């Protein structure tokens, strides 16, 4: 099998096939990616921790299985970058926060465990906005991650480390989490593929909680098929997660291989195509809609009026749940402890530790959420936001009664400059304008790259949204668009990323 002399630019599917066929060893593939990380990550800063010893040991285990004639799984020996919000036994988990600096979990998250069982090689933990709160990865306590397309720009957030690792060819696969768009928005601005599965489709056990009714782990990759293979490896019911759905996993891999939209009805969301969208983003989006029509789909305009209220409702619900979830970081059991001098009491130590351990954005959301839940304001704020959430679900139900999937731009603009929105929280929050409704309803969403914006030469993403437990429709549509565009361009868009 030919890799054009560079293992790091191959797809996960091709690497797995080569390892299984004996064309290359898992150790060689892993070492190539570790070498790539050593070469470029000083500029990109995608990783917070690289587990060289653990990765090489896992690769050796895969090679030993093959030597014994054991059957290898679809992703055996393929390297992966894991967002630092999933617990990893024996490997630091910080959530991008000083509050958990140096914490080494005693157990694996279910996603981590399933990756290990699938013989995926975990290279290390990726950078993220602190406790997954942000849209740029600028809120990490350990420094900003840079977008490989332009190192002066953000890689999206909160999972910018995972998306940047893919675009920098440091890993062929990555895992992210999506609370309001933190898989899809980074995928959009880095020219990669990111999927938010149906809420409950992938276990949240061991995923450090930000907003429990919204958080969802999911796959990130450079191709739709690679994302499908990873989705299949991590999805499925988990008795350790009370919100896990006890239903068969949709055939996402089969759908990705189908790559056909003939006869499908595809809705264009009226609310996500107007003022406030960058011209190049709108241009590539409309080209994508025209392409879907050419491929045999019927295009229908869909009106979802409650989507206009999704952003403010989200920024009441998510902070409210965050203020409850982050109360566990009290400096008593694990994590940072400040002021424990034998004089200060429990409350003083907790207060000093939170002051030192939490960053500005986390404090902002805790305060906002605590206020929204306070006596006398609960119904006016949190209660009203939940009513809006119900209206959003109803809009989706009406839309999906008429169409198979919905499409929109993933995010209103391409990647913005680092620091450009740091002092303007509202401008930062607007990056998730198109992605938030899917989290509020709990259905499935995907972002795929559909070209570069003419005005700045940066990637643009197409968002595809499917009903709950119809995740396979995402892959059917996404792979069809990907195949058509690759044929048009003659090569995958990701190959255009500037060399680091």
410: which 2 tokens? Answer: 């993933």
Q: How many alpha carbons fall within 13 Å on the CB side of residue 26?
A: 28
Token pair of 259 as six digits: 């790559």
Given a contact cutoff of 8 angstroms between Cβ atoms, the answer to whether 200 and 244 are in contact is: yes
Active site residue 188: no
- Catalytically annotated residue among 135, 158, 163, 306: 158
Residue of 58, 83, 98, 125 marked active site? 83
Whether 65 sits among the annotated catalytic residues: the reply is no
- Chain-centre distance for alpha carbon 41: 19
Nearest to 148 by CA among 190, 188, 109, 187: 190
Encode 418-449: b = buried (16+ Cβ within 10 Å), e = exposed. bebbbeebeebbbbbbbbbbbbbbbbbbbbbb
Peptide bond into 158 cis (omega under 30): yes
**Cα(348)–Cα(449) distance, integer angstroms:** 49
User: Which residue has tokens 């609370």?
Assistant: 179
Rounded to whole angstroms, the Cα distance separating 289 from 266 reads 9
Residue 83 is among the residues annotated as catalytic for this protein: yes
216 within 8 A of 475, measured Cβ to Cβ: no
The pairing of strands 444-452 and 298-302 is: unpaired
- Please, which residues bridge with residue 77 across strands? none
Sheet containing strand 217-221, edge to edge, reads 47-50, 121-126, 79-83, 173-177, 217-221, 193-196, 444-452, 459-466, 405-409, 265-269, 298-302
Q: Which of 97, 182, 288, 408 is catalytic?
A: 182
Q: What is the CA radius of gyration of the chain?
A: 21
Q: From CA 293, how far away is CA 272, in angstroms rounded? A: 19
Quick one: the chain helix, strand, coil %, rounded to 5? 45, 15, 40
Q: Where are the alpha helices (DSSP H) in 100-250?
A: 110-117, 160-167, 184-190, 224-234
Q: How far apart are CA 203 and CA 336, in angstroms?
A: 27
Q: Are 438 and 457 within 8 A, CB to CB?
A: no
Instruction: Residue 345: count other Cβ atoms within 10 Å of its Cβ.
Output: 9
302 forms bridges with which residues in the sheet? 269
DSSP conformation class of 183: T
CA 215 to chain CA centroid, Å, is: 10
> Which positions are annotated as active-site residues?
83, 158, 182
């Amino acid at each position: 099998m030919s890799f054009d002399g560079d293992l790091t630019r191959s797809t996960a599917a091709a690497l797995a096939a080569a390892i299984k066929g004996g064309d290359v060893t898992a150790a060689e593939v892993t070492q190539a990616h570790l070498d790539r990380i050593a070469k470029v990550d000083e500029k990109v800063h995608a990783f917070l921790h690289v587990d060289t010893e653990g990765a090489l040991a896992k690769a050796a285990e895969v090679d030993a299985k093959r030597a014994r004639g054991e059957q290898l799984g679809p992703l055996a020996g393929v390297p992966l970058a894991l967002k630092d919000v999933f617990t990893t036994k024996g490997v630091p988990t910080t959530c991008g926060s000083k509050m958990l600096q140096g914490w080494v979990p005693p157990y694996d998250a279910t996603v981590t465990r399933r990756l290990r069982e699938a013989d995926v090689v975990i290279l290390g933990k990726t950078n993220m906005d602190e406790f997954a709160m942000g849209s740029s990865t600028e809120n990490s306590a350990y420094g900003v991650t840079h977008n490989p397309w332009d190192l002066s720009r953000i890689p999206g957030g909160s999972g910018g480390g995972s998306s940047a690792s893919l675009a920098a060819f440091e890993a062929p696969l990555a895992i992210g989490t999506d609370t309001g768009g933190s898989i899809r928005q980074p995928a959009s601005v880095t020219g990669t593929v990111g999927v938010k599965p149906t809420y409950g489709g992938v276990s949240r056990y061991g995923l450090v909680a930000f907003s429990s009714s919204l958080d969802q782990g999911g796959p990130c990759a450079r191709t739709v098929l690679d994302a499908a293979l990873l989705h299949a490896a991590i999805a499925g019911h988990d008795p350790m997660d009370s919100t896990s759905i006890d239903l068969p996993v949709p055939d996402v891999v089969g759908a990705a291989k189908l790559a056909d939209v003939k006869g499908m009805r595809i809705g264009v969301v009226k609310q996500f195509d107007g003022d406030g969208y960058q011209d190049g983003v709108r241009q590539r989006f409309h080209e994508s809609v025209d392409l879907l029509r050419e491929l045999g789909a019927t295009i229908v305009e869909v009106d979802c009026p409650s989507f206009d209220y999704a952003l403010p409702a989200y920024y009441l619900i998510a902070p409210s749940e965050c203020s409850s979830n982050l109360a566990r970081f009290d400096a008593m059991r694990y994590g940072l402890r400040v002021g424990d001098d034998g004089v200060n009491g429990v409350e003083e130590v907790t207060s000093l530790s939170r002051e030192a351990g939490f960053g500005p954005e986390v404090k902002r959301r805790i305060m906002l959420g605590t206020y929204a839940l306070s006596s006398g304001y609960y119904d006016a704020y949190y209660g009203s936001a939940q009513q809006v959430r119900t209206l959003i679900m109803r809009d989706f139900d009406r839309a999906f009664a008429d169409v198979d999937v919905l499409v929109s731009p993933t995010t209103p603009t391409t990647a913005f400059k680092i620091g450009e929105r740091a002092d303007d929280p509202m401008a930062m929050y607007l990056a998730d304008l198109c992605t938030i409704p899917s989290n509020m309803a709990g259905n499935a969403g995907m972002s795929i790259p559909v070209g570069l914006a003419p005005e700045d030469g940066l990637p643009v993403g197409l968002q595809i949204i499917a009903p709950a437990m119809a995740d396979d429709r995402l892959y059917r549509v996404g792979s069809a668009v990907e195949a058509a565009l690759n044929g048009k361009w003659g090569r995958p868009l990701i190959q255009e990323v500037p060399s680091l």
